[in-house]
A and B are shown apart, each in its own frame.
Chain A
Amino acid sequence: MKFIHIADVHWGMRPDSGKPWARDRAQAIKDTFAAVISQAKTRGADCLLIAGDLFHRQPLQRDLKEVNYLFSTIPSTKVVLIAGNHDRIRANSALLSFQWCPNVTWIMEKSPTTIAFPELGLDITGFSYHTTEILDSLPQDLQPPNTPRIHILMVHGGDEKHIPIDKGLLSSSGFAYTALGHIHRPELSPDKRWAYPGSPEPLDRTETGQHGMVVGEINPSAHQVSTLEFIPLCQAQYISLIVHVTPATTNSELYERIFAEIQRRGSRHIYRLRLRGRRDPDISFELDALERRMQVAEIIDETEPQYDFGQLFAEHSGDMIGFYIRALQKEEMTPVEKKALFYGIDALLCTTDERS
């Protein structure tokens, strides 16, 4: 029995709002979901498990129609869904009156419910969110029904406010496989008993690394997962780069270095840059051009001007600069204090150049 397991698609989300590529990101989420569907077709998956948060918000009729259309293109794959905290079922949900195509089963119940798929020799147990949070962990005595079929559990959660999960228990549970959702970073258990597929597309700049789906196969006689692998699908990744500078680093050199690195890693990705090290006090890094030409979400400049405070202090021990250094410099300065020191020294040194 071949299956594809995804979660946290967040259809309808618009990451990086305000950035020039925001629309592309919103589209990428939909495109990658469509790619999962076509993968289900080409791989001949028997079932597609979507472990919650398919939608970023309460889905509208038109969202359901879009998704349902995609599901209708894989009539021989059983699609089983549960609702997560983002697309939880509310009393006014359009979901309640939506007519899915025949291969789609949305387990809407609040408590664990088992749906049988006799033609696949498969029982799927799952439940949907009706509230923003579920503080209780899974029931201790949650066991699959006593049938000679393969048993799969679908759960959306894993943090303290959304069904705390003891992964050890999952490995020893009566279910052949637990399809998890909610955590956006992919994680596959070594014993192939459970997996977080992560979100198919990374959804914000903290979600670095590969994203995609989980593909697996369950042996119909042994009722055990025989293969389980992560397949990357995402169109772009968020990549954090730490760039070290020296007092010799100039703006153009830095620009070229980062530009080359981004080109090497792929300009379709979205980058966060963190500049570290000591810079020439006369240079302040201005990388606006980089932000315009590349997908750079954020540049955090943590560089410090290369002042030799010892030397400065020796030269200016009797004047304002000396006093200033003495007033601010100390062990373990806060970032604000450090910056204040740099700003003040910079301003004071600036005025020495001027003749009156």
Chain B
Amino acid sequence: MELLDLHISGFGKFQDQDLSFQDGLNIIYGKNEAGKSTLHTFIRCMLFGLERSRGRASKNDLYTHYKPWDQRSPYGGQLRVKQNGNIYRIERIFQKDQRSFAIIDETRGREVTPDKAFLEELLCGLTETTYTNTVSIGQLKSATDTAMAAELKNYIANMNSTGNMALNITKATACLQNRRKQFERRMHPEAAAEYAALAHEIQDIEQDICAPAYQNQLPAYESLRVQTRRELAKKQGEHEILLQRISTGKQVLAKAHFTDQASIANYRSMAEDIYQNYQKEKSLCENRPRSVLTACLMALAVANAALTIFCYTAGAANPLAAMLGIKAPWLLLGTAAAAMLLSLIVFGMFQNTRRLKKDLAGDSQMLQEIFSRHLGDNSLSEKAKQAFDARMEELACLAERLEKSEECVQEQALKISALQEKEKSCDEMISRQQRTQWELEKKLDHLAACKDRMEALEQTLEENKRLQEETAAISLALDTLKGLSATIRDSFGLHLNKTASEIIRKVTGEAYSSLSVDEDLNVSINTPAKLIPLSQASSGTMDQVYLALRLAAAKLVQSGHDKMPLIFDDSFALYDDERLQAALGWLTETYDSQILVFTCHPREARLLAASQIPYHLISL
């Protein structure tokens, strides 16, 4: 493509400005502030359009920056270009409310639809980005600058990253990484660990509660307790009855003033003695001959007493004595003595009888008391005695039974306390069981909470899995991009190397045969003899290499036969005259399309004239 001329209706400081270019080298000369950059930008905007940025960015964007100073002039203009032998007029108005864009084919005299394919052909396949990165060249770095090598490396890196500069792989990669980060932020990386920990805890709890200690033995203990209680109640009932019986028996005994078997036996033998005495005395008392004897003896004693008195009164003249042949005093003495003796006997006998009677009375009274107490009847008889004996026998039996019962009661008490002990232990076991059950329920509660949490986590894990699929997809996209860019770099780099090598060979007059860029983007220059790292090359060579690479890139990115014009915007400001002359020389030689050089120095024109290189000068 060749730029023919342009008309600026209004763009920055320019209004109604016309400018024509020619084939080959054009030097656009203007002092500072003459509007070189404006012109440069105008060409770019005519080719690629000028959109207004949105929002805040619009304050300092190109659109605002190059608004016509004179508000009345329309913001835009025309650019005539020649492409493949046809002349096209590009008309654009950038004004936001009356934006327009038209391309007129002047050769055929009709308007062309500016569709994508047509534009691509017209612009030699360049996008705005590739345009700015290749054919439009800003200020070239000073060769003396030590950062030149690094700058060059950086340029190659950008250049190499993709054929189409508009597809900024670095940005796309950053964008993808950002999206992946967003997904990752929504993930819960701790969920898996927590899930595992919970699973472990649940397993532990489940194992724990399976322990025999937690077995529910309440029914067993409860039935044991019921059984024990039943037994205990039965025993206690029996015990009660026995105790009652004992106390009644004891009352009976106490009523009879007995305490135990021995007391009954004693009492009984005492009563027996009394009864025996009573019987004896009674039979003695009832012995009548004894009283006759007493009466006889009494009569005899009385007779004797009377005889004694008679004898006394008769004195010596006692016929009886005579009769008996005994002297009267002796008789008197004899009778008196007899009378005395007899009365003594009778007295004694009387005394005896009286004592007997008294004893009898005493015994019978005692017997009566005994009988009346135990039989309720005080009559003394053999029958009563038998009844008494029977009664005593009965009481003795009772006492014996009582003793046995008491032994029995003691035994029972032991058994009862054993049962009570058993019941108590049952109670204890049951309350212990209840406690363990309570503990178990606590654990089960916790287990349920764990399981609920785990279920919730399952959802989280599922969500994580879904997010992971997204991140995996993005990772795959990133890997693919990386792999592709490497492939492209390799192939593009190869082409770049090849083209740049050709240029460098031409530029250096075969001093250097080629240059090569390695994987780390280190540039080396090949001489026929050896490989020289760029950093060791002279600064002049570095400039040449840099330009050579840019030119190579510019050639590579353009499609079709016609090439875009090469535009230098104050690019050689830092070059000295010698180097500038050399550069301009080989530029015109190597690039066979139009070249525009914007400069603020008159030296370019001077040097070109000196080297007899044809050029077209445009002064602003």
Contact = CB atoms under 8 A, between A and B. Distances in A.
Contact of B484 (A93, A97, A320): A320
A96 interface: yes
B218 interface: yes
B167 A348 contact: yes
B41 to A, nearest CB: 12
B337 interface: no
A323 B483 CA distance: 10
Interface string B134-168: 00000000000000000000000000001111111
Contacts of B102: none
Given A92-B214, A97-B222, A61 B441 contact: yes
Contact of B163 (A94, A318, A342): A318
B474 A354 contact: no
Nearest to A90: B210
Nearest to A15: B455
A319 B167 contact: yes
A14 B448 CA distance: 10
B477 A97 contact: no
A347 B216 contact: no
Interface residues of A, number: 44
Contacts of A321: 167
A336 interface: yes
A14 B452 contact: yes
A92 B116 contact: no
A339 interface: yes
Contacts of B172: 320, 344, 347-348, 350-351
Interface string B467-486: 00110111111001101110
B159 to A, nearest CB: 13
Nearest to B167: A320
B263 interface: no
Interface string B150-190: 00000000000011111111011101100100000000000
A289 B350 CA distance: 145
B164 A320 contact: yes
Nearest to B462: A298
A91 B215 contact: yes
Given A327-B483, A339-B473, A351 B168 contact: yes
A58 B443 CA distance: 11
A241 interface: no
A343 B172 CA distance: 10
A315 B129 CA distance: 17
A350 B175 contact: yes
Given A61-B441, A96-B218, A18 B176 contact: no
B473 A351 contact: no
B415 to A, nearest CB: 29
Contacts of B437: 61, 92, 94, 97
A100 interface: no
A320 B162 contact: yes
Max chain A CB contacts within 10 Å: which of B163, B173, B437? B437
B377 interface: no
Contact of B451 (A57, A339, A347): A57
B175 A347 contact: yes
A308 to B, nearest CB: 14
A242 interface: no
B456 interface: yes
B205 to A, nearest CB: 11
A12 interface: yes
B209 interface: yes
A297 to B, nearest CB: 9
A318 B444 contact: no
Interface string A331-347: 00001111111111001
B128 interface: yes
A332 B317 CA distance: 195
B168 A17 contact: no
A343 B473 contact: yes
Contacts of B132: 356
A125 to B, nearest CB: 24
A60 B474 contact: no
Nearest to B459: A18
Contact of B216 (A91, A315, A342, A344): A91
B107 to A, nearest CB: 27
Interface string A70-112: 0000000000000000000011111011000000000000000
B429 to A, nearest CB: 13
B390 to A, nearest CB: 61
A339 B164 contact: no
B171 A354 contact: yes
B447 A97 contact: no
Nearest to A60: B441
Given A320-B169, A335-B469, A343-B179, A94 B441 contact: yes
Contacts of A323: 484, 487-488
Contacts of A340: 473-477, 480
A324 interface: yes
Interface residues of B, number: 59
B476 A336 contact: yes
A17 B457 CA distance: 9
Interface string A295-324: 000000000000000000001101111011
B448 A324 contact: no
B382 to A, nearest CB: 74
Contact of B477 (A18, A60, A344): A344
A355 interface: yes
Interface in A240-292: none
Contacts of B218: 96-97
Max chain A CB contacts within 10 Å: which of B210, B216, B437, B487? B216
A318 B179 contact: no
Interface in B204-231: 209-210, 212, 214-216, 218-219, 222
B477 A343 contact: yes
Contact of B452 (A17, A94, A320): A17
Nearest to B481: A344
A318 B444 CA distance: 67
B175 A320 contact: no
B219 A339 contact: no
A328 interface: yes
A18 B457 CA distance: 9
B440 interface: yes
A335 B469 CA distance: 8
Contacts of A324: 480-481, 484
B445 interface: yes
Contacts of B474: 339-340, 343
A92 B472 contact: no
Nearest to B448: A57
B440 to A, nearest CB: 6
A328 B480 contact: yes
A352 interface: yes
B484 A337 contact: no
Given A18-B456, A57-B448, A347-B477, A92 B176 contact: no
Given A335-B469, A343-B176, A344-B477, A57 B215 contact: no
B473 to A, nearest CB: 3
A32 B518 CA distance: 75
Interface in A24-58: 57-58
A74 B51 CA distance: 81
Contacts of A344: 172, 176, 477, 480-481
Nearest to A343: B477
Given A350-B171, A350-B172, 7 more contacts: A14-B452, A97-B219, A97-B437, A340-B475, A344-B176, A351-B168, A352-B166
30 contacts: A17-B455, A18-B460, A58-B444, A60-B441, A61-B441, A91-B210, A91-B214, A92-B214, A96-B216, A97-B219, A318-B125, A318-B164, A318-B559, A319-B166, A320-B484, A320-B488, A323-B488, A327-B483, A328-B476, A336-B472, A339-B469, A339-B474, A340-B475, A343-B477, A344-B172, A347-B176, A350-B175, A351-B167, A355-B128, A356-B165
The 7 closest A-B CB pairs, nearest first, are A339-B473, A319-B164, A97-B218, A344-B477, A340-B476, A17-B456, A347-B172
